Homo-oligomer: A and B are copies of this chain.
Amino acid sequence: MKIVSNIKACGGQQIQFTHAASTLNCEMTCSIFLPQAAETEAVPVLYWLSGLTCNDQNFVTKAGAQKVANELGMAIVCPDTSPRGDNVADDPEGAWDFGLGAGFYVNATQSPWQEHYQMHDYVSQELPKHIAQHFNVDASNVSISGHSMGGHGALTVALTHPEKFKSVSAFAPIVSPLNCPWGEKALTNYLGGDRAQWQKYDACYLIEHANSTQLPILIDQGSKDSFLEEQLKPHLLEQAAQSASYPISLRYQEGYDHSYFFIASFIEEHLRFHHRFLSQ
């Protein structure tokens, strides 16, 4: 691991580092906020998964989360959104919704993507191990959140591994890649044409087929989000959760769009939501 920068922020430390990610077969850049409490105790951890086109820095610079995270004594880990590097395959037309910056938190099975695009295993297995080895965190006290494609990532990772997380939340998540253009494009390429192989990365499917372990779930969705009707479709998750008797809290926030201003407006409530379950 190589520390790129370590900057004091809101009483804690905002750290950016690189490490060799074996699941992704490339070097990855990642950021972590460590609250002051980490100087003396192993602190709970929130994983934050970002959306299309983002990297590890968007949340760090724009969400304004550090002050409350420091107050609550919570670390926040922000991975990148895809494998990176000159050797990593990208969309042949350089589209922003597939390839680099758009790993969709799946394990690709199709060529040429499967060599590097194993983001599900990276964020759910390898990165947590790396974080636990190098930083003063409580690896048994973990929650996860994300935005848009990262909201899809947070929901699917948590629903697949409910034993690893205390709670999950999302801002404007893609709730069903089986049922939106972004998902169709990404999963066709990463996973192939057999849609049965997509189900394990679909939050609606997963919540309908969840075992008895139910996680606390909080979702915020802006009512003026330009992607709401075509791509995000939170009502599908609401329906799936109802049919599975899986309680979720889905809130429509009047007038908010898809930007980081929306995240900055409600991140404090999400941190306090997770803190309730992380501190039990």
Q: Which residues of B contact A62 (CB under 8 A)?
A: 61-62
A224 CB within 8 Å of chain B = yes
Q: Which residues of B contact A255 (CB under 8 A)?
A: 8
Q: How far does the alpha carbon of A21 sit from the alpha carbon of B110 in the complex, in Å?
A: 56
Which applies to chain A's interface (DSSP): helix, strand, loop or mixed? mixed
Interface flags, A96-137, vs B, CB<8A=1, else 0:
000000000000000000000000000000000000000000
Query: A11 to B265, Cβ gap below 8 A?
Result: yes
A13 CB to nearest chain B CB (Å): 9
A64 CB within 8 Å of chain B = yes
Count of chain A residues near B, Cβ 8 A: 24
- How many copies of this chain does one complex carry? 2
A260 CB within 8 Å of chain B = yes
Q: How far does the alpha carbon of A264 sit from the alpha carbon of B60 in the complex, in Å?
A: 11
Query: A268 to B67, Cβ gap below 8 A?
Result: yes
Query: A61 to B8, Cβ gap below 8 A?
Result: no
A221 CB to nearest chain B CB (Å): 13
Query: A261 to B11, Cβ gap below 8 A?
Result: no
24 A-B residue pairings within 8 Å (CB atoms) = A7-B259, A7-B261, A8-B224, A8-B255, A8-B257, A8-B261, A8-B262, A8-B265, A9-B261, A9-B265, A10-B261, A10-B264, A10-B265, A11-B265, A61-B61, A61-B62, A61-B260, A62-B62, A63-B64, A64-B67, A64-B264, A66-B261, A67-B264, A67-B268
Given A8-B255, A9-B262, 12 more A-B residue pairs with CB atoms under 8 Å apart are: A8-B224, A8-B257, A8-B261, A8-B265, A9-B261, A10-B261, A10-B265, A14-B261, A61-B62, A66-B265, A67-B264, A67-B268
